[in-house]
Amino acid sequence: MTAVFHPGDRVRVIRTHPPGHRRTPYYIRGKVGEIERVCGAHPNPEELAYGFDGLPAKVLYRVRFRQKEVWESYAGPDSDTVDVDIYEHWLRPA
Amino acid sequence: MAADERGHDHDHDHDHDHEHPHDHDRTFQPDIEDAPPGRYELMTYAIRELLVEKGHLTGEEIRKAQEKIDSWEPSQGARIVARAWTDPEFKKRLLEDGNDAMAEYGIEPGGAKMTVVENTDKVQNVIVCTLCSCYPRAVLGLPPDWYRSKNYRSRVVIEPREVLKEFGTEVPDDMAVRVHDSLADLRYLVLPRRPEGTEGWSEEQLARIVTRDTMVGVANPDVDRAGS
């Protein structure tokens, strides 16, 4: 499976709130970050949770966000980041 | 015995059935089953019984699996960190592909992708799972209660420096704090910095200062611990 995004690409997490077993936490939805690395394709846990086979597998990324972009009132230095594992179907180019 | 006799100053040589009046507080240690079972606990029992009843698993297999999980402990991770500190080639492999490098130690993290993140003089890494309790169990064993607490899970992403300070770890402002929220198929392990003053130490000596918390990233190795 070919990854759509590559390390260094800016991506935005889609801001959507579907019901169900979702592995993308609310706090990161709608935020912009940078692909840190591509982590291969894995059966989709959002489908596996309901007894489906999770196929086709989805590409997983590690996306790095600046804390100051995630939390308006973040008190630490600019260099602080949070890395979140996010599946491709949650990401759009930013 | 007089009805107004207090306490336990009577003779204990006789057989007695403890039906005499007592007034000392009966403070029993609560049993773990004292609270009524929760919904998920009941579901777990029900599914377990069904699996056994239908012949998919035996009680013995379930027991063995639990025993195996309970045998995982942070000393596994410590051996790997100590090796990475002394063997640059191993460290390179470990950072590139955690599963591959850990397989050399017989560690099989199942479907999880072991991702090792390295602390440097510029970066302090710390791991969390804000959604549940994802944790590198195959190398650290079961997570401590605080790791699963809502307090830690919610606060370490918003104010990591304050949380680290509560653990006794002050990160200077010229170092970045990098929080890793493991949510899906990745499991993180922090590779702490090898402290000064450990030159010439054996892997075994080094492993002794690599504690669970240093591999979660809320603490850093303490050279003084080696003697303890």
Test A84 with B178 for CB contact under 8 angstroms: no
Q: How far apart are alpha carbons B149 and B163 in whole angstroms?
A: 13
- Amino acid, res. A70: V
SS3 call for B117: strand
Contact B185 A81 (CB under 8 A): no
Q: What is the pLDDT of residues B187-219, one digit of tens each?
A: 999 999 999 999 999 999 999 999 999 999 999
Nearest to A85 by CA among B205, B115, B84: B115
Question: One digit per residue, pLDDT tens: chain A, 94 residues?
Answer: 789 999 999 999 999 999 999 989 999 999 999 999 999 999 998 999 999 999 999 999 999 999 999 999 999 999 999 999 999 999 999 9
Which phi and psi (to 5°) does residue B30 adopt?
Answer: -65, 145
Amino acid letter, residue B90 = F
* Shortest Cα–Cα distance, B66 to chain A (Å): 22
Q: Are A57 and B156 in contact (CB under 8 A)?
A: no
Round to whole Å and give the CA distance between B225 and B208. 7
Q: Which residues of chain A does B178 touch, with a Cβ-Cβ cutoff of 8 Å?
A: 80-83
pLDDT in tens, B82-91: 999 999 999 9
Chain centre distance of CA B110: 18
Give the type of residue at B214.
T
Token code pair at residue B170: 């002050």
Question: Residue B213: how many CB atoms within 10 A of its CB?
Answer: 21
Measured between CA atoms, the residue of chain B closest to residue A43 is B185
Q: Among partner residues B113, B158, B173, which is closest to A77 by beta-carbon distance?
A: B173
A44: its two tokens: 């989709």
| Cβ contacts of B131 within 8 Å, gap of 6 or more | A23, A25, B183
Residues from chain A that touch B161, judged by Cβ atoms under 8 A, are: 75-76, 80
Model-level pTM greater than 0.90?
A: no
- How far is residue B176's CA from residue B5's CA, in Å, rounded to a whole number? 69
**Chain B residues inside the 8 Å CB shell of A80:** 160-161, 176-179
| B220 touches B168 (CB < 8 A) | no
Half-sphere exposure of B203 (CA within 13 A, CB side): 13
Question: How far is residue B180's CA from residue B183's CA, in Å, rounded to a whole number?
Answer: 9
Q: Measured between CA atoms, how close is B22 to chain A, in angstroms? A: 55
In this complex, do A83 and B179 lie within 8 Å of one another by their Cβ atoms?
yes
